[in-house]
Amino acid sequence: MPHHSSRIIAVLGPTASGKSDLGMELARRSGGEIVSVDSMQVYRGMDIGTAKPSPADQAEVRHHMIDVVDPDEDYAVAEFQRTGRVAMTAIAARERPMVIVGGSGLYFRSLVDPLRFPTSDPAVRAAVEIMSPTEAVAELLDIDPGAGDHVDLANPRRVSRALEIVRLEGGTPTERAADPQFERVRNYQPEVPFAAIGVDPGDTLGGRVERRIDQMLRAGLVEEVAGLAGRLGRTASSAVGYRQMLPVVAGTRTVREGREATVRATMGLARKQRTYFGRDPRIRWLAWHSDPAVRYAAARRVLKKTGMGWPATL
């Protein structure tokens, strides 16, 4: 983990909220570096559909956790945590402020909170995944009758992962939930101090999402997906925008249908992000304003009140 004296700003919120622009401005003015917490921007070549920072922005401000792996690789949050914390330690060693920016709540918490991710094994995972959902739930409940209090039994992926962990590490979901470390995570007790700013455009988000997707289409989203087709792994192919445009590339869906499906999926993602971040009491939500300069001024006021010693240029 980075040294506790590191100055960390987190700019969080739903997709298409303007958080990336705000994070860029904060990093630019503070002389800081950006750590992306976006579960899909880690993939090389997935540029347009993930709204990856432009080459010009990346040249002006150093970015981390972007273009980490090829799109045919599955990149779990545990791997992101290891690599991201190494990057944060290096930024702290350079005595630079760091600005964490993104909408993947779990990825954000993996960097600042005491989250510990169990090991994984492809062979064990494959053995578990061939079980029917009913069989998997039955086995998990046989091992741990109280598992339903800690695992969503209606979600086959969650059940399979819980069984994989039990087979690899022993113990049960109930036993892990009683661990003091889990209590710290549940109570949002971080391992490093940080100031978190939330950005949410409220009722205007729908319009912003539609405009962003139209811009992506004009920039060549369909062509990007076509160039990646056949090289997208399980995780990358599930990314919003890519999943909806793959049928367009295959000729089974029109571009208009793909656009509408992408809008719906993006709004669904935004609702989940709002729910996730809304539970975190550490985030100070800015009053929304369409003018980026006004949003920056509001963020600056919030940060100055923290007393964390931000650069005078901020």
Q: How confident is the model at residue 183 (pLDDT cuts 50, 70, 90)?
A: confident
Neighbours of 126 (CB within 10 A): 10
pLDDT tens track for 116-126: 887 778 898 89
Q: Which of 78-82, 188-192, 289-293, 309-313 is the least confident region? A: 309-313
At 6, which amino acid appears?
S
| Residue 181 pLDDT | 74
pLDDT tens track for 152-176: 999 888 899 899 999 998 889 898 8
pLDDT tens track for 206-261: 999 999 999 999 999 999 999 999 999 989 999 999 999 999 999 999 999 999 99
CATH of region 8-113+188-305: 3.40.50.300
CA dist 243 and 245 (Å) reads 6
| Whole-number Cα distances in Å, 170 to 146, 203, 216 | 16, 46, 46
pLDDT tens track for 256-281: 999 999 999 999 999 999 999 999 99
| Residue 186 pLDDT | 77
Q: How confident is the model at residue 3 (pLDDT cuts 50, 70, 90)?
A: very low
CA dist 275 and 128 (Å) reads 30
| Residue 232 pLDDT | 96
**CATH class of the domain at 122-186:** mainly alpha
CA dist 303 and 241 (Å) reads 34
- For the chain, what is the mean pLDDT? 93
**122-186: same fold as 8-113+188-305?**
no
| Residue 139 pLDDT | 95
| Residue 2 pLDDT | 46
Q: Which pTM does this prediction carry?
A: 0.87
| Residue 313 pLDDT | 79
Domain extents for the chain? Answer: 8-113+188-305, 122-186
Write b or e for each residue in 146-157: b if 16 or more Cβ atoms lie within 10 A of its Cβ, otherwise e. ebbebbebeebe
Q: Which residues contact 41 (CB under 8 A, 6 or more apart)?
A: 50, 52, 65, 66, 67, 102
